[in-house]
């Protein structure tokens, strides 16, 4: 047995006293070991040894329940599919009011990547080894690190929520990759005006959708949530009509945030307008704007003439972009990437 007496000195009065210590090395069925030193709550040697045996059995029983048969309170553990479409979806996705784009993304990722691998497994059967194999399979498919992180995040959240509601004892770490945030690409003022004009020629639906993204800063998922069937590819048609490079809806939202930062909006106000949860997300727009500062077009300044309220002034300036004519150099011939800007700077 590993139970023994030890002398301990009371730090308050300096007196010595004897206590019983259980120094245990637990060997689990999967071959792993764990060493524990615990104070035994009895002073009798025979009772202490009995306590140690019971403690070993309890630790082994907890390990088996966590690995194979539910949590320590004997609750029935659902499969990942049952949990994902059941309590997790209702209490977390719906209850937390996930954004339309987030909801759509979670559904797509589950059906394409998670259902076949994890859907049939109980939550307590999904461990580090299962996640590691899954992550390795995603890497083998040559998916980008950002895409893999998105998939792993959709896997991780339901498992951690199951821990929060005490359905399982613990959730495995998924091991996200470190990735750089994507570059913010936006339209120049004159390009933006051409986009709006082209959208108006495309039709009322296109013009409304483009204004929601560019004039109000809505996300693509929020625009799609308007239940319009042809929104997805509409932006590419608008770009072609404007004789500009084909870019997605994100460029309209990026233009809204970057232009507002150029016009001097308070970052905290911009954070609210864009619906960001963290200031770090908003400051990316501020930093990009700081690297592209230039004199505002006359049409933009005229739109805000006489307005003293700082927020309304910025909004008026944003609205004035529609009237900007082609006076500034367009980037359509060299794009909006770091490499292209270096090329222009050296020309």
CATH at residue 277: 1.10.443
- The pLDDT, as a whole number, for residue 345 is 42
- Residue 149 covered by a domain: yes
Q: Are residues 132 and 91 in the same domain?
A: yes
Q: Which two tokens mark 244? A: 């500009």
Query: What is the b/e burial string over 267-280, where b = at least 16 CB atoms within 10 angstroms of the residue's CB?
Result: eeebbebbebeeee
Distance (Å, rounded) from C-alpha 268 to C-alpha 231?
30
Task: Answer for the pair 151, 114: CB distance below 8 angstroms, yes or no.
Answer: yes
pLDDT at 226: 67
Structure tokens at 184: 């913010």
Residues 334, 347: Cα–Cα separation, whole Å: 12
Same domain, 49 and 87: no
Query: Is residue 340 domain-shared with residue 255, that is, in the same domain?
Result: yes
Same-domain status, 220 and 151: no
pLDDT of 8: 76
**pLDDT confidence of residue 152:** 95
**Residue 177 within a domain:** no
Q: 206 and 321: one domain?
A: yes
Q: Which of 149, 164, 179 is the last residue of a domain?
A: 164
Domain annotation covers residue 74: no
**137 lies in the same domain as 269:** no
Overall number of domains in the chain: 3
Per the domain annotation, does 340 fall within a domain?
yes
Q: Is residue 214 part of a domain?
A: yes
In a domain, 114, yes or no: yes
CA distances from 50 to 17, 23, 33, 57, 72 (A): 22, 14, 21, 11, 22
- For residue 333, what are its two tokens? 């011939």
> Which pair of tokens denotes residue 93?
């996705």
* pLDDT at res. 227: 59
Select from 99, 131, 164 the last residue of a domain: 164
Give, in order, the Cα–Cα distances in Å from 193 to each of 43, 141, 202, 217, 336: 84, 41, 14, 16, 17
Q: Which of 37, 67, 97 is the last residue of a domain?
A: 67
- 79 φ, ψ (degrees, to nearest 5): -75, 165
Q: Clarify whether residues 103 and 199 are in a common domain.
A: no
Segments forming the whole domain that contains residue 222: 189-345
pLDDT, tens digit, 9 for 90 and up, residues 22-33? 888 888 767 778
Whole-angstrom distance, CA of residue 245 vs CA of residue 132: 40
Note the pLDDT tens digit of each residue in 93-102.
988 888 777 8
Whether residues 193 and 333 fall in one domain: yes
Question: In terms of domains, do 207 and 330 share one?
Answer: yes
pLDDT at 88: 93
Residues 97 and 226 occupy one common structural domain: no
Domain match, 117 and 233 both: no
User: In whole angstroms, what is the distance from residue 341 CA to residue 347 CA?
Assistant: 10
In a shared domain, residues 57 and 85: no
Helix ranges restricted to H, 242-337: 250-262, 267-274, 279-290, 298-303, 310-319
Whether 159 maps to a domain, the answer reads yes
Contact at 8 Å (CB) between 158 and 84?
yes
In the chain (347 residues long), the average pLDDT of successive 10-residue segments reads: 76 77 80 82 79 81 64 69 93 85 89 94 90 92 92 94 87 87 86 91 88 86 68 84 89 92 92 89 89 84 91 91 68 38 40
Domain membership flag for residue 179: no
């Amino acid at each position: 047995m590993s139970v023994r007496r030890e002398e301990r000195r009371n730090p308050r009065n300096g007196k010595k006293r004897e206590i019983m210590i259980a120094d245990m090395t637990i060997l689990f069925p999967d071959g792993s070991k764990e060493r524990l030193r615990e104070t035994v709550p009895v002073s009798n040697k025979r009772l202490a040894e009995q306590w140690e045996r019971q403690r070993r059995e309890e630790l082994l029983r907890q390990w088996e329940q966590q690995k194979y048969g539910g949590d320590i309170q004997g609750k029935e553990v659902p499969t990942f599919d049952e949990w994902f479409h059941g309590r997790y979806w209702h209490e977390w996705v719906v209850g937390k009011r996930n954004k339309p784009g987030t909801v759509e993304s979670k559904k797509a990722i589950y059906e394409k990547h998670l259902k076949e691998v994890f859907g049939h497994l109980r939550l307590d059967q999904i461990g580090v080894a299962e996640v590691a194999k899954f992550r390795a399979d995603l890497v083998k498919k040559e998916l980008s690190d950002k895409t893999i992180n998105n998939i792993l995040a959709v896997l991780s959240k339901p498992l951690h929520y199951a821990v929060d509601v005490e359905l399982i004892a613990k959730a495995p770490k998924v091991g996200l990759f470190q990735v750089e945030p994507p570059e913010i690409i936006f339209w120049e003022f004159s390009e933006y005006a051409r986009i709006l004009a082209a959208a108006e020629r495309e039709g009322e639906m296109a013009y409304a959708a483009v204004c929601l993204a560019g004039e109000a800063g809505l996300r693509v998922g929020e625009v799609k949530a308007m239940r319009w069937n042809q929104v997805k590819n509409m932006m590419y048609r608008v770009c072609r009509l404007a004789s500009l490079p084909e870019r997605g809806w994100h460029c309209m939202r990026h233009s809204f945030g970057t232009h507002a930062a150029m016009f001097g909006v308070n970052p905290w106000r911009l954070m609210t307008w864009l619906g960001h949860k963290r200031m770090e997300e908003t400051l990316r727009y501020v930093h990009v704007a700081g690297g592209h500062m230039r004199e505002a077009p006359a049409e933009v300044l005229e739109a805000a003439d006489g307005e003293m309220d700082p927020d309304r002034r910025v909004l008026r300036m944003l609205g004035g972009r529609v009237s900007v004519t082609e006076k500034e150099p367009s980037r359509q011939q060299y794009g909006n990437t770091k490499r292209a800007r270096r090329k222009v700077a050296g020309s």
